[in-house]
Amino acid sequence: MLSVLSVTLPVFALILTGWLVRRAGVLGPHAASELTRFVIYLALPALLFEVVANAEWQVLWQPGFIGAFGLGVAVVFIGAVVVQLIRRRPLVDSAIDGLNAAYANTGFLGIPLLLAILGRDSLIPAMIATVITVCILFAVALIMLELALQRSASSASGPMLGTVGLQLLRNPLLVAPALGLLVLLLGLRLPAPMNDFLQLLGAAASPCALVALGLFLAEDRPRPQRVAGTVALLVGLKLVLQPLVTWWLAAQIFGLSAVLVHSAVLLAALPTGTGPFMAAQLYRRDGAVTSSVILISTVVSLLTISGFLGLLQ
């Protein structure tokens, strides 16, 4: 419990900082949107590019772990989207809700948590989970968002697909990891000054996103109806279903070692990261549900991760 608390306290502190400075009037009403734009167009693309470009195929190629964690993410993401569509939520919002249910905070919380609990042997699984979550899951969700938005704006499939392609080519959150993958495939190494620049800029992504979330929560706005039920559903999928499905896949289907099983389950049990909030802001969707899921899942994960730790031991 203390290990989990020590890692999550900085998250609460950053969200609280954003909330306090907005309530105190230190930052104005446009601060949340401007800080979010900084994350979307500068910090997060730098992080995505640097992570992919500096990856090592030999290190990342762990097919059993990739299958267990990746399928766990896919099951929860697809399940959340389908449930929300059945509940008559638009596809655009359903895709963001799928992110809310499946997007674990692997980078900001996962790596330090696993390092504190399982040691350095868990760093490679944490990196693999980060790539799956931040690059692959996020890319799939953004493609769904673009398709849903263009389908509602146009009935012609040809022009729609062309428009979607152009929008995706302009999206920095997809272009950055794609360029990083190109660097990786070509076997290039980033020059040291450029790598340092990207690491400095990318390091600002998570803290700035959390402060922006606090700024957003501090704004007075009407709450949409039935938010509580939706938030409870998504938090339950994230903190309970995803780690259970991942455990079953890792232990029963892929037969992974104890360290990999523990790593997969703990990474899947992490609360929702800031990626869904960035997606909601980028596509100008209401962020009330997403911000609540991030905040509540982070609080409740203190109990659920501690519970999973007890079961695994």
Residue 258, exposed/middle/buried by CB under 10 A (0-12, 13-18, 19+)? exposed
Give residue 226's pLDDT: 64
What's the full length of the chain, in residues? 313
Task: Answer whether residue 2 shows pLDDT above 90.
Answer: no
Cα separation, 150 vs 167, whole angstroms: 10
Cα separation, 264 vs 252, whole angstroms: 13
Structure confidence by residue, pLDDT tens digits, 172-193:
767 887 888 888 888 888 899 9
Predicted TM-score of the model (pTM)? 0.77
Give residue 254's pLDDT: 93
Query: What is the fold, at CATH topology level, of the domain defined by 2-135+172-312?
Result: Na+/H+ antiporter like fold (1.20.1530)
Tokens in use for 127? 């990196």
Task: Answer whether residue 285 shows pLDDT above 80.
Answer: yes
Task: Answer whether residue 64 shows pLDDT above 50.
Answer: yes
Q: For the chain, what are the domain ranges? A: 2-135+172-312
In eight-state DSSP terms, residue 254 is S
Cα separation, 165 vs 262, whole angstroms: 39
CA 67 to chain centre: 18
Give residue 156's pLDDT: 45
Cα separation, 103 vs 100, whole angstroms: 6
Residue 85 contacts by C-beta under 8 Å, 6 or more apart in sequence? 91, 94
